[in-house]
């Protein structure tokens, strides 16, 4: 077990910098998830922790050792790849025991460790099969088993569930969490799926454009996104953004209606009001008028796609049953307590107080 | 449900015509070999006696005899076959390892001048051997290798086409497989031997056959570089049956039959893999 500290880490390919000085603390025994759109640098960062990519500058510290110049095997890590990367010519047992064989561990001990891991993962009946005779979920388990037998300080996962179907993915999420509880090791997990991140993580690191945008617990990111990117990325459907102007501690939407919030008196300029779809409410006296484009009932709730009078697309989720034709106008309001406010220029969060 | 089109299935006449044509072509290709093999089983004086007017016996021997084969035992042919098998076998084993290792480096490592170096490798595959015989001879002469087994083997170890074939195969293996090996603690050498090579046996097979046949067929280089009698290879020994005074057709045919069978055997056994790999190497 070990904590992982990433300090001012940069990665450049020639003159193209893809990671611009990332600082992250990953506590010992935590399940931390790197999440972001493709190309944000999350996989590169994970591969740098694994020692598969060279660090251009900065430090990666595992436990209390700077591992920048250590080769992968000396970093005491194990990695599970998106495509599993099982050795096709070896059986499940040989795949799982490969690292121990390389390390010249006695055969009896390898067999025992492989057996334990196989029991934990429900693979006991498949130990003598080759990977191509296994289903996707079983291959995934073998890949995890290969990591488990090494008993590493840190587990690294690179989008391990993205090749599985939805049902299997849900099941593996639960199993991964259970595995984390049982082993108590530090786990770093990369995904582009924010739902996966929200449901599994102790700590989420949202990445975009080579920067760590925000680090925090899932609900903290949902409740208090640090900037527009995080606000738009976390939560589904995504947060609605309405442009507004701030002056004298007050905020007015583009149509001139005042938003019932109070901000610092000295802030002046363009701002963006963020409202999550689930925090919009049907309210005949509400301040917003929207034109319905599409209504999608899911049974438990109703998703409404609409357009504001300023022509801004807006999404709303309500537990009420709504029947309206497209083109009809609805009057809605919002839960003032759950509004978010961002500086339009810097895109950073502005703290607000309710009036 | 029967609307998938397969050529020929709807027109029996065309179907028969197609196969007749193919059989004829196959016969044209095989007839000389067949004639050679049958002729090797008849006495020399009978070989050309029916050539003037075409009859059944132009092809089919009147009397069968193994004398042409037993006659070979008194020549240098048995030793030459042994030499050829030895040279081709050793070249094959070492060559596959050397070429695969080079290809593995080209496929997995980033290093300076990788592109230009690989281009050079490709050029060696395209260069006709006759074009480099002279400089190569001078080189091995300087190294004191003339007239030895090593002069027959060493220059033939690196084979541009085999390297290309291996490189294409290794490059197509998902990189994560090597990375998983790295993380599992394996050295690159171990990854090469225990991960990359075991999954590439079809290419190993194809490459082996290619190197083996190339070496087994070699004539010009052994003739030039290894003149002494105990180093004579099969092709050179066969050629000794042809001289200014005339040819010893019986020995010529029997020795060529043996050589053809040996060269064809590995290909016939593994042809399924061979064709698939040459086809998928992106060259032909």
Interface check for A105 against chain B (CB to CB < 8 A): the answer is: no
Q: Which range, of A52-61, A237-246, A330-339, B62-71, averages the lowest pLDDT?
A: B62-71
| CB A139, CB A86: distance < 8 Å | yes
Interface check for A103 against chain B (CB to CB < 8 A): the answer is: yes
Pairing of strands A77-80, A154-158: parallel
**Of A72, A90, A143, which to mutate for an interface test with B (greatest number of B Cβ within 10 Å)?**
A72
Q: Which helix (H) or strand (E) holds A262?
A: strand A261-262
Q: Does residue A230 have a pLDDT over 50?
A: yes
**Among chain B residues, CA nearest to A155:** B183
Task: Using CB atoms, pick whichever of B174, B179, B186 lies closest to residue A102.
Answer: B186
A239-264 tens-digit pLDDT: 999 999 998 888 898 888 888 888 88
Nearest to residue A315, comparing CAs of A285, A278, A273, A272? A278
The shares of helix, strand and coil residues in chain A, as percent rounded to the nearest 5, are 30, 35, 35
Task: Quote the CA–CA distance of A222 and B25 in Å, as a whole number.
Answer: 75
Q: What are the chain A neighbours of B179 within 8 Å (beta carbons)? A: 50, 52, 72, 79, 81, 85
Q: What are the chain A neighbours of B184 within 8 Å (beta carbons)? A: 73, 98-99, 102, 146, 150
Task: Quote the CA–CA distance of B184 and A77 in Å, as a whole number.
Answer: 9
Angle at A39 between CA A34 and CA A44, to 5 degrees: 55
pLDDT for the residue numbered B49: 74
Task: Quote the CA–CA distance of A272 and A289 in Å, as a whole number.
Answer: 18
Class of domain A4-232: alpha beta
Average pLDDT, rounded, for chain A: 91
Task: Quote the CA–CA distance of B100 and B116 in Å, as a whole number.
Answer: 19
B229-245 tens-digit pLDDT: 889 999 998 888 888 77
Task: Quote the CA–CA distance of A298 and B202 in Å, as a whole number.
Answer: 53
Q: For residue A250, what are the β-bridge partners?
A: A247
Interface check for A211 against chain B (CB to CB < 8 A): the answer is: no
Task: Using CB atoms, pick whichever of B177, B183, B185 lies closest to residue A87.
Answer: B177
Interchain pair A89, B185: CB under 8 A:
no
pLDDT for the residue numbered A325: 85
Interchain pair B185, A99: CB under 8 A:
yes
**Nearest-CA distance from A270 to chain B in Å?**
47
Residues of B at the A interface, defined by Cβ within 8 angstroms = 174, 176-177, 179-186, 190, 195, 198-199
Interface check for A83 against chain B (CB to CB < 8 A): the answer is: yes
Fold of A238-353: OB fold (Dihydrolipoamide Acetyltransferase, E2P) (2.40.50)
Q: What are the chain B neighbours of A88 within 8 Å (beta carbons)? A: 199
Name the stretches of chain B with pLDDT < 70.
1-10, 274-284
A276-292 tens-digit pLDDT: 999 999 988 888 899 99
Query: Which distant-in-sequence residues (6+ apart) come within 8 Å of A314 by Cβ?
Result: A240, A242, A280, A290, A305, A306, A307, A308
Interchain pair A150, B184: CB under 8 A:
yes
Interchain pair A150, B176: CB under 8 A:
no
Q: Which helix (H) or strand (E) holds A58?
A: strand A57-62
Q: How many residues does chain A have?
A: 355
**Nearest-CA distance from A52 to chain B in Å?**
7
DSSP A70: S
Interface check for A99 against chain B (CB to CB < 8 A): the answer is: yes
The shares of helix, strand and coil residues in chain B, as percent rounded to the nearest 5, are 75, 0, 25
pLDDT for the residue numbered B279: 53
Interchain pair A78, B174: CB under 8 A:
no
Distances (CA, A) of A46 to A6, A71, A196: 11, 14, 17
Interchain pair A81, B176: CB under 8 A:
yes
Interchain pair B185, A73: CB under 8 A:
yes
Nearest to residue A164, comparing CAs of A196, A130, A133? A196
**Nearest-CA distance from B207 to chain A in Å?**
20
Nearest to residue A88, comparing CAs of A36, A42, A37, A143? A143
Task: Quote the CA–CA distance of A346 and A127 in Å, as a whole number.
Answer: 55
Interchain pair A85, B179: CB under 8 A:
yes
What is the arithmetic mean of pLDDT over A110-136?
92
Nearest to residue A92, comparing CAs of A44, A159, A46, A148? A148
Q: For residue A12, what are the β-bridge partners?
A: A17
3-state SS, residue B243: strand
Interchain pair A50, B183: CB under 8 A:
yes
**Among chain A residues, CA nearest to B181:** A99
pLDDT for the residue numbered B4: 53
Domains A4-232 and A238-353 alike in fold: no
**Nearest-CA distance from B97 to chain A in Å?**
19
What is the arithmetic mean of pLDDT over A131-150?
91
Q: For residue A156, what are the β-bridge partners?
A: A79, A188
What is the arithmetic mean of pLDDT over A100-119?
94
Interchain pair A102, B180: CB under 8 A:
no
pLDDT for the residue numbered B1: 45
A81-90 tens-digit pLDDT: 998 899 999 9
Task: Using CB atoms, pick whichever of B174, B183, B190 lies closest to residue A79.
Answer: B183
| CB A187, CB A80: distance < 8 Å | no
Catalogue the E-assigned strands of chain B.
Answer: 242-243, 246-247
**Domain coordinates in residue numbering, chain A:** 4-232, 238-353
């Amino acid at each position: 077990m070990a904590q992982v500290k990433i300090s001012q880490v940069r990665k450049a390919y020639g003159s193209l910098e893809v990671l611009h000085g990332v600082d992250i603390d990953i506590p010992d025994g935590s399940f931390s998830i790197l999440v972001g759109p493709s190309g944000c640098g999350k996989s590169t960062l994970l591969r740098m922790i694994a020692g598969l990519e060279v660090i251009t500058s900065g430090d990666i510290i595992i436990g209390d050792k700077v591992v920048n110049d250590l080769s992968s095997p000396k970093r005491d890590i194990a990695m599970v790849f998106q495509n599993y990367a099982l050795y096709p010519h070896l059986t499940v047992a040989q795949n799982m025991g490969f690292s121990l064989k390389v390390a010249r561990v006695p055969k009896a001990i390898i067999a025992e460790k492989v057996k334990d891991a196989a029991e934990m993962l429900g693979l006991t009946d498949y130990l003598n099969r080759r990977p191509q005779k296994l289903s996707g979920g079983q291959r995934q388990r073998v890949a995890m088993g290969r990591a488990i037998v090494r008993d590493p300080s840190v587990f690294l996962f690179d989008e391990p569930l993205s090749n599985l179907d939805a049902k299997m993915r849900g099941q593996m999420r639960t199993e991964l969490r259970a595995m984390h509880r049982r082993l108590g090791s530090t786990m770093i997990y990369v995904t582009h799926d924010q739902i996966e991140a929200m449901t599994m993580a102790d700590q989420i690191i949202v990445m975009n454009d080579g920067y760590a945008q925000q680090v925090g617990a899932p609900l903290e990111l949902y409740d208090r996104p640090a900037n527009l990117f995080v606000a738009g990325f976390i939560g589904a459907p995504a947060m609605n953004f309405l442009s507004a102007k701030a002056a004298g501690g007050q905020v007015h939407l583009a149509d001139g209606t005042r938003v019932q919030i109070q901000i610092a008196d000295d802030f002046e300029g363009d701002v963006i009001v963020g409202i999550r779809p689930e925090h919009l409410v049907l309210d005949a006296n509400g301040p917003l008028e929207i034109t319905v484009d599409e209504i999608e009932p899911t049974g438990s709730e109703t998703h409404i796609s609409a357009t504001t009078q300023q022509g801004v697309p807006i999404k709303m989720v309500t537990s009420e049953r709504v029947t309206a034709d497209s083109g009809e106008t609805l009057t809605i309001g919002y839960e003032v307590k759950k509004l978010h406010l961002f500086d339009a220029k810097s895109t950073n969060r502005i703290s607000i107080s309710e009036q | 449900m029967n609307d998938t089109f397969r050529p020929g299935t709807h027109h029996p006449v065309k179907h028969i015509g197609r196969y007749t044509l193919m059989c004829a072509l196959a016969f044209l290709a095989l007839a000389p070999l067949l004639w050679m093999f049958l002729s090797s089983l008849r006495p020399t004086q009978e070989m050309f006696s029916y050539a003037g007017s075409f009859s059944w016996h132009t092809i089919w021997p009147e009397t069968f005899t193994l004398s042409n084969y037993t006659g070979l035992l008194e020549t240098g042919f048995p030793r030459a076959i042994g030499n050829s098998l030895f040279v081709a076998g050793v070249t094959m084993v070492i060559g596959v390892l050397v070429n695969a290792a080079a290809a593995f480096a080209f496929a997995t490592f980033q290093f300076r001048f990788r592109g230009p170096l690989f281009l050079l490798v490709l050029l060696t595959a395209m260069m006709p051997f006759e074009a480099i015989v002279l400089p190569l001879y001078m080189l091995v002469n300087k190294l004191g290798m003339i007239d030895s087994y090593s002069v027959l083997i060493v220059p033939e170890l690196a084979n541009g086409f085999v390297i290309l074939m291996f490189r294409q195969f290794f490059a197509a293996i998902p990189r994560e497989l090597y990375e998983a090996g790295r993380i599992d603690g394996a050295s690159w050498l171990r990854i090469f031997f225990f991960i990359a090579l075991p999954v590439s046996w079809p290419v190993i097979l194809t490459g082996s056959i290619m190197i083996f046949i190339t070496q087994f067929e070699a004539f010009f280089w052994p003739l030039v570089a290894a003149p002494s009698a105990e180093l004579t290879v099969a092709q050179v020994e066969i050629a000794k049956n042809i001289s200014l005074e005339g040819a010893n057709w019986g020995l010529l045919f029997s020795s060529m039959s043996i050589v053809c069978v040996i060269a064809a055997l590995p290909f016939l056994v593994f042809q399924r893999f061979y064709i698939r790999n040459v086809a998928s190497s992106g060259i032909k």
